[in-house]
């Protein structure tokens, strides 16, 4: 029997790109709270060999990028890494992001990963943000008119944020995945971004 099998349900697995020099601090809020909301977090490396983060954490990927299929995933998370700006080694992750978006599966990119998406042409026609506008402009992309100077941006199935905004990034991811919504999502953000003690009770009400 040929042809693809239609989705019968939405996957509950979120895939996290992991690669040498990845920025440890950028996706921790998102992955921790997605896991608490019942999502399985699986790591995806260039291969299955261990990788090492900026902070020296050694991570053994659950699967190789070549094995990843959009139909098996609820979202692809791409953290920043020095490698986004120093080589083309991570370009296959940006190409995979294109495949995900074409399939209607959300992608969330932060810091250097936004530059990778810019080089792939994925930010040319979508509202987006990053560290600063001229960081993306240096990639030669054509999406400067769509740059938004804010903490994080959700544009359809694409979420972007800069390196200093891991909490805002997580807010957009958690909202997109339905982990928190409405007043509860706002309370989560006020607790972890603003250290608002009143938000704790609201979040756990």
Residue 173 lies in a domain: yes
On whether the CB atoms of residues 102 and 134 are closer than 8 A, the answer is: no
Average pLDDT over the chain, rounded to whole?
94
On whether the CB atoms of residues 22 and 81 are closer than 8 A, the answer is: yes
For residue 114, the domain's CATH number is 3.40.50.880
Average pLDDT, integer, range 51-68 = 98
Say what the pLDDT of residue 9 is: 61
Is the pLDDT reported for residue 129 higher than 60? Answer: yes
Residue 154 lies in a domain: yes
For residue 123, what pLDDT band results from cuts at 50, 70 and 90? very high
pTM reported for the whole predicted model: 0.93
Residue 81 lies in a domain: yes
149 is catalytic: no
Residue 191 lies in a domain: no
Say what the pLDDT of residue 11 is: 83
Q: Which listed residue (34, 83, 111, 115) is catalytic? A: 111
Element spanning 160, H or E: strand 158-161
Residue 50 lies in a domain: yes
User: Is 54 buried (19+), middle (13-18) or exposed (0-12) by CB count in 10 A?
Assistant: middle
Is the pLDDT reported for residue 32 higher than 80? Answer: yes
Is the pLDDT reported for residue 37 higher than 60? Answer: yes
% of the chain with per-residue pLDDT over 90: 93
The tens digit of pLDDT for each residue in 134-186 reads 999 999 999 999 999 999 999 999 999 999 999 999 999 999 999 999 999 99
- Domain of 125, in residue numbers: 13-180
For residue 204, what pLDDT band results from cuts at 50, 70 and 90? confident
Domain count, the chain: 1
Average pLDDT, integer, range 33-41 = 97
Residue 192 lies in a domain: no
Is the pLDDT reported for residue 5 higher than 50? Answer: no
Average pLDDT, integer, range 18-46 = 97
At residue 109, what are phi and psi to the nearest 5 degrees? -125, 140
Residue 157 lies in a domain: yes
Residue 2 lies in a domain: no
d(CA 33, CA 7): 25
Which residues is 147 bridged to in the sheet? 128
For residue 2, what pLDDT band results from cuts at 50, 70 and 90? very low
For residue 33, what pLDDT band results from cuts at 50, 70 and 90? very high
């Amino acid at each position: 029997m040929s042809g693809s099998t239609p989705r019968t349900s939405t996957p509950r697995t979120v895939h996290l790109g992991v690669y040498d020099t990845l920025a440890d601090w950028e996706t921790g809020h998102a992955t921790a709270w997605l896991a608490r909301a019942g999502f399985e977090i699986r790591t995806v490396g260039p291969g299955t060999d261990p990788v090492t983060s900026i902070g020296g954490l050694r991570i053994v990927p659950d699967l190789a990028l070549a094995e990843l299929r959009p139909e098996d995933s609820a979202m692809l998370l791409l953290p920043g890494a020095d490698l986004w700006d120093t080589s083309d080694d991570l370009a296959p992750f940006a190409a995979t992001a294109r495949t995900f978006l074409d399939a209607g599966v959300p992608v969330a990119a932060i810091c250097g990963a936004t530059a990778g998406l810019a080089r792939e042409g994925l930010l040319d026609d979508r509202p987006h943000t990053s560290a600063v506008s001229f960081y993306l402009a240096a990639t030669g992309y054509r999406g400067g008119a769509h740059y938004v100077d804010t903490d994080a941006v959700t544009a359809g199935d694409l979420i972007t944020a800069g390196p200093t905004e891991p909490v805002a990034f997580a807010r957009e991811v958690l909202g997109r995945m339905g982990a928190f919504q409405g007043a509860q999502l706002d309370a989560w953000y006020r607790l972890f971004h603003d250290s608002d003690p009143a938000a704790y009770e609201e979040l756990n009400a």
